[in-house]
């Protein structure tokens, strides 16, 4: 039976249900740059319609500066593991995949390890990388939230072919990062507009939750390999 040797797992809104923390970090950034905070309803409408990335940025503020501040103050205060997270990681761990968490937060990876320990998930994760680690390791973030350098670094570190790995995430830059490295990508979102964005940007398949990811991995590596040009 063939499974991927390595699985890249996005952290926020993929492994961790941290939508309220996302909301709080957006408002912290808006306040920092002198704009009014959103109500949760205002934020949620922008989020589910996939418009938050550009509409949240105050006028006259650099998009890069805004989102870099956001990802430095994004911490898990209200979040919890996504439904099915323990089951998902347990299955992958049991078949000896390398489980690699890669997050767009610009913080030391030790903070993510602390959160994983708090929720009892650390034992099933092999390595954690953040955007903060790129500069430490001598890499480059080509565009905002681009994780491709980290993905390539990890694959080379472990001597794994991109087609023997799979990546899971919730946002279009996750798809684009995986495509640059040649890793098949599975999108995860319950929201129709965000699903549409993931498909349009090249996701092999888009699912609603972590339980469905395992079936999607089966589809990619067994029955319908043409989905990802495998």
Residues 154-176: pLDDT tens digits?
999 999 999 999 999 999 999 99
Interval 180-212: pLDDT, tens: 999 999 999 999 999 999 999 999 999 999 999
* Matching residue, tokens 């418009």: 51
The whole-angstrom separation of Cα 13 and Cα 137 is 26
38-82 confidence digits (pLDDT tens): 999 999 999 999 899 999 999 999 999 999 999 999 999 999 999
Cα dihedral sign for 84, 46, 79, 131? positive
C-alpha span between 198 and 172 (Å, rounded): 5
Q: Which residue has the higher pLDDT, 175 or 230?
A: 175
Cβ atoms of 220 and 230 closer than 8 Å = yes
Distances in Å between the alpha carbon of 228 and those of 202, 204, 211, 217? 9, 6, 20, 11
Q: What is the DSSP string of 163-216?
A: GGEEEEESSHHHHHHHHHHT--EEEE-SSHHHHHHHHHTT-SEEESSHHHHHHH
- SS3 of 79, please? coil
Alpha helices in the chain (DSSP H): 19-32, 40-48, 52-55, 63-73, 85-94, 109-118, 131-136, 148-158, 172-181, 192-200, 210-218
Beta carbons of 193 and 49 less than 8 angstroms apart: yes
pLDDT at site 228:
64
């Amino acid at each position: 039976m063939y499974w991927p040797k390595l699985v890249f797992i996005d952290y926020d809104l993929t492994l961790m249900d941290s939508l309220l923390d996302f909301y709080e970090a957006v408002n912290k950034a808006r306040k920092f740059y002198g704009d009014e905070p959103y109500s949760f309803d205002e934020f949620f409408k922008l989020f589910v319609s996939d418009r938050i990335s550009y509409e949240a940025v105050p006028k006259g503020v650099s998009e890069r500066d805004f989102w870099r501040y956001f990802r430095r103050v994004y911490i898990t205060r209200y979040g919890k593991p996504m439904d099915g997270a323990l089951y998902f990681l347990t299955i992958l761990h049991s078949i000896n995949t390398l489980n690699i968490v890669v997050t767009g937060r610009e913080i030391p990876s030790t903070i993510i390890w602390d959160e994983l320990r708090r929720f009892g998930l650390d034992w099933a994760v092999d390595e954690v990388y953040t955007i903060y680690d790129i500069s430490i390791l001598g890499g480059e973030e080509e565009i905002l939230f681009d994780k491709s350098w980290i993905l390539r670094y990890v694959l080379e570190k472990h001597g794994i072919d991109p087609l023997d790995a799979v990546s899971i995430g919730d946002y279009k830059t996750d798809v684009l990062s995986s495509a640059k490295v040649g890793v098949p990508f599975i999108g995860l979102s319950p929201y129709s507009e965000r699903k549409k964005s993931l498909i349009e940007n090249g996701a092999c398949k888009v699912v609603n939750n972590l339980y469905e990811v395992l079936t999607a991995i089966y589809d990619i590596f067994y029955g319908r390999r043409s989905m990802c040009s495998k």
